[in-house]
Structure 1
């Protein structure tokens, strides 16, 4: 049996893992899906004070107060910075750090640094005009695709479920730089490639791409899960199976 802590990406809460958790638990694993402050059932806690450090502490407290050890810590998409920061704070409790259709956030980096200038401008305008300067509302599906997010596998039912529960992302989590102390460096890490082919990820890492060069390290392993950017919705059973394979 392994212990999983599942952290969803932007606009999502623990509810996003509803179809992934049962097969993992049926396989005998201990599973803890997380809702970060200001999202999902914790949306009432949103405000200008919610930042990346808030979400890091959410994860740390989930692990510490539940007295979890040898954790397989999974971060989807925009949760990259939060799971990296949490693992850096308590590396002695983390057995493996997993990035689900995501990649590691480097020390001093923000989520906004991952965006090209035009997408960055789009986000800043949307936050200012529709988010009161403190939150990033869920973009339309067309806007998601224009930003490069694959919608493969998301039918009408999955999209409706997503939209019905999505909540705005606290903007401070996107703009606060990640501060690391080196605790995360030696941990085993895995990347599960979904919407970007694994071969392309490997090529960018080998070429020294600044966002992927860390993946060339010996502590990394890689898995394929060909689907869209939200595998917990498009392929929940396969997502659970890939995560379970990392337990060994």
Structure 2
């Protein structure tokens, strides 16, 4: 049996992992999906580290905005983690915030949304995601509407605050599950030294593809669970 600690991306909660978690539990694994409730990015790291406390052999999984959270959490609780998984995401270097990964026009758009919504960033509509280049492929309208209805806004400190990184351990296996991009896309970005991808050049990194949109826990939960089970 393997323990999976599942960290959701922006706007999502532990509920986002319901179908994936059910599949993993049916295979005999222990599943710990998290709600990240802090108002800063560093607070989210603290929440993951607390969930890892006292555990061993954990496969730590981060989706989307959870990727930059699980990387430093694994560095701070290294003894608990046996495999680090990034679902359609990656780590960010020390001192960078989530918003820094967006192009200038995307950053301006996000800051305007936060200013207009009392310091929080609500989940965009499907049309807004498409305009920003975030793939909603694989989600029918009913599923997207259900996810959007359950979403919660992200606090400004989570979106614009940076996270303190440590030293990545090259002996810790790290896997990227590429859903809205390909392994070849990632290699090109690694070679170009793009933040969030440059770190992935080490031998401990592997890539596997699950071609769907950015939310495979909703569009391909069984396939995602199968991939995760193979990493335990």
Task: Pick the TM interval, shorter chain.
Answer: over 0.9
Distance 2:57 2:201 in 1: 24
The superposition leaves residues 120-148 of structure 1 with CA deviations (integer Å, 9 ceiling, x where unpaired) of: 00000000012x12x11111111111111
Q: 1:129 aligns with which of 108, 116, 126?
A: 116
Match of 2:17 in 1: 17
Q: CA RMSD in A?
A: 1.3
Match of 1:33 in 2: 33
Match of 2:205 in 1: 220
Residue 86 of structure 2 aligns to a residue whose secondary structure is strand
Distance 1:141 1:198 in 2: 25
Note if 1:87 corresponds to 2:59: no
For structure 2, the 5+ residue unaligned runs are none
1:1-248 equivalences in 2 (<5 Å): 1-37=1-37, 50-64=39-53, 67-130=54-117, 132-133=118-119, 135-182=120-167, 184=169, 186-247=171-232
Distance 1:137 1:26, change over 3 A: same
- State whether residues 51 and 170 of structure 1, in contact with CA within 8 Å, keep that contact through their aligned partners in structure 2: yes
Distance 1:110 1:186 in 2: 26
- State whether residues 13 and 35 of structure 1, in contact with CA within 8 Å, keep that contact through their aligned partners in structure 2: yes
TM-score norm. by structure 1 comes to: 0.90
1:208 CA displacement: 2.9
1:154 CA displacement: 0.4
- State whether residues 90 and 183 of structure 1, in contact with CA within 8 Å, keep that contact through their aligned partners in structure 2: no
- State whether residues 84 and 184 of structure 1, in contact with CA within 8 Å, keep that contact through their aligned partners in structure 2: no
Residue 98 of structure 1 aligns to a residue whose secondary structure is strand
1:86 CA displacement: 1.0
With 182-191 and 101-110 compared, the bigger mean Cα shift is at 182-191
Distance 2:59 2:93 in 1: 20
Aligned length: 232
Distance 1:72 1:204 in 2: 25
1:184 CA displacement: 4.5
Distance 1:92 1:206, change over 3 A: same
For structure 1, the 5+ residue unaligned runs are 39-49
With 104-113 and 235-244 compared, the bigger mean Cα shift is at 104-113
TM-score norm. by structure 2 comes to: 0.96
